[in-house]
Structure 1
């Protein structure tokens, strides 16, 4: 009795070891699922695995949100099969089921995708991994800037707004001033408007006071950048002119004139013998001429 129990325990332990070895022998190397797919484009999914020395491939299965939509079982009469699932339809697949291409995406195509690979009996080792896919509805136009003026003066307040086109997910907006990211204090909290079809419009306001540094390189340039992950990148830029404050040029000219007068006056004061009426050569010449003419007349 004791020997039988011991033999069963050893057999069970051996089965566990074999199971662990089998599971470790099959390895899932890589799963590729595009994180963002534009609406109306094809998504390509890829799953790579490595079998152990004694493993034989039993099946490759693809799931979306926990529901199977494609499988590849080499030993079946129909090795590859598709299963109906809203928004998911396999257009093409590789001979071993490792790569599948879906028909042009609709909004329902988005979700969590999982690849599951299994080995043959008796242990049926199985490995799997998952990744999320978001379907992107791209805006039909770039960001729009409103509220800007043709000209600004030092001290004026810039209050402009940037509005994205309708998209899903929401577009991310960012402001740039003269090519540099606008300070966070100048950008207000973005607002979102959601429509019945699930699309969204994002708005972001920019508010700051014009300073001399904004015109050091010429006109003031305001740019709004709209992005959606790595699949959408559009911008709109406006260039506005700067005006000097009233009286600024005139006061500068007056100050320059006063400076020149000061320099002339300072130069005159630096002479060692100031000129007087009696010591002027011209005055002495006139006096001598007048005396000479008087003598001749007499």
Structure 2
């Protein structure tokens, strides 16, 4: 009987121990949690990227290491129990400039094109199980445009029925900027916007997009028309350019006929005025001659004799 009890206890222990061990492993794995990983998705060329990794240890956990990787290659580690707790490893385009005591926050040197890639933070607990958690995020190094978007082809005045044909061109960047058109502050209808054209030069891209529509009476707001081109490289770049035009009033046919009649009347008045001036001039000449009758008659009498003497 005693042997039977002993065998039952031994069998029970053999069943319980694996379960306890499994529970212990699960507890260790669950106790260490990676709370948040912060890696900027877009970093302008020449700026410093800040990486952040936060975690939570269990009640009985002890931190063993924090390691940072870029494209699968380690470039920084923090092991509290080592003689040299924090170490940097050479990697093209990646150099840790500053870091905190936990190793969870690092700042990289000014970004170059090779800095872009996939970054991973890995946190491990102490022996015997060395529970490990990790997460990753991608970073893209961008070259911001050297100038804002430029609008060409826009006039200072428009009438209802006129056709607006303008173009917007961004500065050179990497990657290409996204362009968008607005009319009076509202997104332009898709029918008026043509497809963007990207032109690549020396690894940098220039984007252009045309806007083409016929002006309607409703397009004028307070006798004005406004268009805007917005260039973006989210979430690090927003620049826009806006142009304004005045409403030009159309001349009606009736007004045009009235203007022509006024011109005709004015010309007729000038002809009559000139004729009157001519008549008045001759009147003055006649009156002058009449005022000197003796002189005029003497001239008529002596004039033939004067001719004979000659």
Give the TM-score of the pair, scaled to structure 2: 0.76
* Deviation for aligned residue 1:252: 12
Change (3 A) 1:169 1:3: farther
Q: Does 1:78 align with 2:84?
A: yes
1:159 aligns with 165
1:63 pairs with one of 57, 61, 69: 69
2:177 aligns with 171
* Deviation for aligned residue 1:14: 2.9
2:219 pairs with one of 209, 214, 223: 214
Task: Compute the RMSD of aligned alpha carbons.
Answer: 2.2
- Count how many residue pairs are aligned between Structure 1 and Structure 2: 253
1:109 aligns with 115
Give the TM-score of the pair, scaled to structure 1: 0.79
Q: Does 1:237 align with 2:236?
A: no
Contact 2:184-2:221 at 8 Å conserved across structures = no
Cα deviation, 1:240-264, whole Å, max 9, x if unaligned, reads 222222326827999xxxxxxxxxx
CA distance in 2, matches of 1:103, 1:206: 42
Partner SS for 2:19: helix
2:206 pairs with one of 172, 184, 201: 201
Q: Higher Cα Rg: structure 1 or 2?
A: 2
CA distance in 2, matches of 1:42, 1:24: 34
2:141 aligns with 135
1:52 aligns with 58
* Deviation for aligned residue 1:200: 1.3
Cα deviation, 1:25-76, whole Å, max 9, x if unaligned, reads 1111111111111111101111111111110000000111111110000011
Higher mean C-alpha deviation, range 239-248 or range 111-120: 239-248
Cα deviation, 1:145-177, whole Å, max 9, x if unaligned, reads 112223222111111110111111211111111
Higher mean C-alpha deviation, range 96-105 or range 12-21: 12-21
Partner SS for 2:114: helix
2:49 aligns with 43
CA distance in 1, matches of 2:222, 2:11: 89
1:33 aligns with 39
2:97 pairs with one of 68, 72, 91: 91
1:227 aligns with 232
CA distance in 2, matches of 1:231, 1:74: 36
1:281 aligns with none
> Can you give the 5+ residue segments of structure 2 that lack an aligned partner in the other structure?
1-6, 260-310
Cα deviation, 1:70-110, whole Å, max 9, x if unaligned, reads 00000111100111111111000001101000000111111
